[in-house]
Each structure stands twice: as C-alpha cells, then as structure tokens.
C-alpha cells in the first residue's frame, strides 16, 4: 500500500479494502490472507520545536504558537528528525510510518492482461466467467454493497477458470436508517467520481449522486462485451466522449425511455439550450482529433457537442456487432438507460443467455485449462510494461531503419550528381618529371670470357676461374 505524501492519515481505500475483504466470504471474491505491517519510526519521539521565547513544545501540542521563520531548531538531542513548520507536520508523520502489505491468494491472470495478450475466449469460457461474476455481484448486492470499480483488470482468473473479484478500495455499503428501513436514494447522496470511465454508466456521466447497485450491472455488461469482442467496448477520453460512444451504440435516450433525463446536473452542462447559435453553426466536420475505439461502429464524437440543443439523435447500432443472439438478449436487459428498469445480478443469471448452448459448467474446472504456457502469467501491469518495451524496441528499429534509408538516399544522390556532372581532370603539374631517371651508379661492363691460347677456343666459366 502506497502512502501518498501529500495526504495525511491512513488511506481511506485501504480502510475499505480491509473492512470488506475481512467481512466478505465468497468463492468468487478474492481472499485476503493477512495484513502485514513493517515497523517504521512510530516509537520514536516526535520532533520538539522551540518557540521564539526559548520554550520547548512538542509537535503533539496543538495549541503551540506558530513559529516565525522558515524552520525551527531541534532541542532534543535524542532525535535526528528535522523539525519543520506546522503545515508540514502531516508529511513528517507519514515519513515516520512503516509500510503496509496486503497478502492475497495468488491468481495467475486477470482478464485485462489476457485480452491485451490477444487471448481468444471461447463462448463457453465467457459464459463461465460471466456466471461467476454475476454470482459474486449477487452476493454483494444482497448485502447492499456496491463495488463501484468493475473492470477487466479487477477480475482475476486462474488457469482452471476460477474467477475472483478484487479491488474493493471504492466499495460502499448502502446505509440503513436507525429503524432498520432501507434508506431511499434521495436520502443517500454518493460521489459520482467512481468506476473507470470506459465502464461508467450514463447516469454517473450525467452527474447523478443518488444511485444503486445497478451501476455494477452496467460495468459487468461492458466486461462481457469486451470478452466477446476481444477489445474494449466503448472507449472515450472524456465524459462527454464516453456519453457520445454510449448514445451512438445504444441510441439516443429521451424522457420517454429515461424519465428524469433532463434533471441530471450535467445535462445542462453538456446540452445547453442557451447555446443554440453555437450548436447550429457546428458541423460534423469539426470532429475530435482522436478516434474512438469503442462503440458499435459509430464515428468519433464531434467537438461541438458541448452546448448543443438536446442530445443528438442516434440510432441503435449494437446489433451490428459480431455477437450471438443470446448475447444480445442479455444486453437488452443490462444496457438500459433507466437504472430502475436495469436487470439485477439475479435476473442476469436467469436470462436466456445462460440457458442456451453451450451451457456454462457447474464447476469451472470442467473446462480445459487456459491455453497459456506453464508458469506464464498475464496481468495488466505486466502486459502494459511488455507493450511499452515492445513499442520502444519498435521505435528504435524504425529509427535505425530511417537512418539507413537516409544514408542510402544521400549515397544515391551523390552517385546521381557524379554521373550527371563528372569531375574535371586534374591540372598538369608545373614541373613535369624528366623522361628518364639519371643513373648515379653506371652499369658494370659485360664480363669477357678468355680464350684458350693453345686451342683457340672460348673457355667455360668454370675453367676460366680455376
């Protein structure tokens, strides 16, 4: 667990994680084995600061006068920690704290890592995964717990297809009144800055602060579509782009299909009737620079959507996706704009999707193990790091290839210039060399072979030099 230096106190997400995982017990929820702490400097005495009058006051005394100047002096020689101003006391305390470790059961993969590695799930495998996920959500929702961060990277899966739901740092339990009556949505405002953008339902994108467990069902539907397609379902860079991806896929909502649509806080922000002139002059050619990978084949969201009069009219294009009829039947129950009419986890488990062949196995271990190498694991962090390394390697190879192409282009240009315009011959030397080289040592005269005085014949070399 990372303690953020800019915050003070124990992290809230760690408190929620420990609270829910110690309380929950389900075969499809990750098991928290132990919480381990590493001893820090908590037992050491906190720095003692001296005021301008020479009196010493400890940092625990909240009524001490604020010291003037940049820093204070240390009067206690037993500590080596430098005392800072009062506004930095929180950071100093965090520096004294030890580390916190969560010990979970080991699961080999998560869905995001497998999808990033281009693993292709079979229809029966997808049904097995979604059945376990909806069973975990049914267990949570019966206890009135909203996960609020359902996504592929938080769904762990083992080699024998056992699914474990993890990461309860954003989970929240719906409150009850003092008489045991359920607190209605109007009495329990919640934050809408939850759930990863690609899996966030439209009511949260429009600024709703009163919602129920139905937000988890929408996110689970996005996970199912991602498993079917092998890629993220609806991808937006901003809340407005994500809304546009949803509307282009499932059609534009209205007050008839979604009562109370115009009462959401962000409706006037995104679709402001007072900006009619701006909306009328905005054309579809002014699209955003980045293309959306999500949606049912729609184009990128237009940049002029902010301030448009009403929601743009889109048709339902989800049927163009390469999915089975039973999948569309479940989608029709999950991807409903009105949260009150959206199916529950229990309703999803009884849908036609899970009653048609191929049926999900009762025991996930009945399926063949995942087609991965022994000892190999795929998690989102690892696949991202590997993808980053591959991109850097590919970039280096492209740079090297570009350097070689540039060198070849320069050599070819030089060769072409040389062929078209040959260089002129070199000028003659100012002092030409002589026709023959003078001999400093004259050659020896030919050797005369003597004659024999008696016979008159020429003697041989051997006889002449006897």
pLDDT at 466: 53
**Residue 256 annotated as catalytic:** no
Per-residue pLDDT reduced to its tens digit, 115-136: 988 899 999 999 999 999 999 9
Residue 92 shares a structural domain with residue 127? no
Among the candidates 358, 378, 398, a domain finishes at: 378
Whole-number Å distance between alpha carbons of 249 and 241 = 12
In a domain, residue 288? The reply is yes
Assessment of whether the complete model's pTM goes beyond 0.75: no
Active-site hit among 110, 149, 216, 244 = 149
Whole-number Å distance between alpha carbons of 462 and 450 = 12
Let me know how long the chain is: 466
pLDDT band at 445 (very low <50, low <70, confident <90, very high): low
Residue 26 shares a structural domain with residue 145? no
Q: Is the dihedral of CA 259, 262, 267, 271 positive or negative?
A: positive
Residue 347 shares a structural domain with residue 231? yes
Residue 148 shares a structural domain with residue 96? no
Residue 244 shares a structural domain with residue 335? yes
Type and span of the H or E element at 157: strand 155-157
User: Mean pLDDT for the chain?
Assistant: 76
Per-residue pLDDT reduced to its tens digit, 152-162: 999 999 999 99
Q: Which residues pair with 250 in a beta bridge?
A: 316
Per-residue pLDDT reduced to its tens digit, 168-197: 989 988 865 444 445 554 456 888 899 999
Q: Which of 41-45, 219-223, 452-456 has the lowest mean pLDDT?
A: 41-45
Which domain does 297 fall in, by range? 109-173+187-378
Higher-pLDDT residue of 127, 51: 127
Q: Which residues pair with 458 in a beta bridge?
A: 451
Residue 85 shares a structural domain with residue 201? no
Q: Is the dihedral of CA 250, 254, 259, 263 positive or negative?
A: positive
Residue 231 shares a structural domain with residue 361? yes
Residue 97 shares a structural domain with residue 231? no
Per-residue pLDDT reduced to its tens digit, 244-297: 999 999 998 988 889 988 899 888 888 765 443 343 443 333 333 333 333 333
- CA–CA distances in Å: residue 466 to residues 308, 362, 460, 461, 462: 128, 122, 10, 9, 6
Per-residue pLDDT reduced to its tens digit, 20-40: 988 899 999 999 988 887 766
- CA–CA distances in Å: residue 295 to residues 120, 238, 251, 384: 20, 14, 11, 23
Q: Provide the CATH number for the domain around residue 297.
A: 1.10.510.10
Please count the structural domains in the chain. 2
Whole-number Å distance between alpha carbons of 138 and 136 = 5
Whole-number Å distance between alpha carbons of 332 and 318 = 10
Q: State how far Cα 72 lies from the chain centre.
A: 44
In a domain, residue 430? The reply is no
Q: Which residues contact 54 (CB under 8 A, 6 or more apart)?
A: none
Residue 120 shares a structural domain with residue 91? no
In a domain, residue 349? The reply is yes
């Amino acid at each position: 667990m990372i303690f953020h230096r800019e915050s003070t106190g124990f992290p809230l997400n760690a408190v929620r994680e420990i609270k829910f995982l110690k309380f929950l017990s389900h075969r499809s929820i990750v098991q928290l084995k132990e919480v381990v702490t590493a001893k820090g400097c908590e037992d050491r005495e906190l720095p003692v600061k001296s005021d301008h009058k020479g009196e010493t006051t400890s940092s625990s005394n909240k009524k001490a006068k604020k010291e003037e100047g940049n820093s204070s002096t240390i009067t206690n020689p037993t500590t080596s920690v430098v005392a800072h101003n009062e506004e930095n006391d929180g950071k100093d305390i965090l520096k004294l704290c030890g580390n916190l470790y969560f010990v979970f059961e080991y699961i080999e993969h998560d869905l995001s890592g497998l999808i990033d590695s281009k693993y292709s799930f079979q229809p029966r495998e997808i049904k097995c995964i979604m059945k376990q996920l909806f069973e975990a959500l049914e267990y949570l929702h019966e206890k009135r717990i909203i996960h609020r961060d359902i996504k592929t990277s938080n769904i762990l899966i083992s080699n024998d297809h056992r699914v474990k739901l993890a990461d309860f740092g954003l989970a929240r339990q719906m409150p009850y009144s003092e008489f045991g009556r359920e607190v209605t949505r109007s009495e329990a405002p919640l934050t809408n800055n939850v759930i990863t953008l690609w899996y966030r339902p439209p009511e949260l994108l429009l600024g709703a602060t009163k919602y129920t467990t139905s937000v988890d069902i929408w996110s689970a539907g996005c996970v199912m579509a991602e498993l079917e397609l092998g890629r993220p379902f609806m991808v937006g860079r901003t809340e407005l782009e994500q809304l546009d991806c949803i509307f282009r896929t499932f059609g534009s909502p209205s007050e008839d299909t979604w009562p109370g649509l115009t009462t959401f806080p962000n409706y006037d922000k995104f679709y402001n009737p007072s900006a009619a002139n701006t909306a009328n002059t905005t054309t579809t050619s002014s699209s955003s620079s980045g293309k959306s990978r999500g949606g049912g084949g729609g184009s990128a969201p237009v940049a002029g959507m902010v301030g448009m009069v009403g929601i743009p009219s889109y048709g339902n294009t989800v049927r163009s996706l390469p999915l089975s009829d039973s999948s569309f039947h479940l989608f029709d129950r999950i991807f409903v704009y009105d949260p009150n009419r959206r199916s529950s986890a229990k309703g999803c488990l009884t849908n036609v999707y899970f009653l048609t062949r191929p049926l999900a196995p009762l025991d996930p271990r009945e399926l063949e193990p995942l087609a991965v190498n022994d000892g190999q694991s795929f998690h989102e962090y690892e696949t991202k790091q590997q993808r980053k390394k591959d991109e850097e390697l590919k970039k280096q190879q492209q740079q090297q290839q570009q350097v070689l192409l540039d060198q070849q282009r320069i050599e070819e240009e030089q060769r072409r210039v040389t062929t078209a315009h040959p260089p002129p011959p070199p000028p003659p030397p100012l002092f030409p060399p002589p026709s023959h080289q003078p001999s400093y040592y004259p050659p020896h005269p030919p050797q005369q072979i003597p004659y024999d005085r008696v016979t008159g014949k020429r003697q041989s070399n051997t006889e002449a030099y006897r």
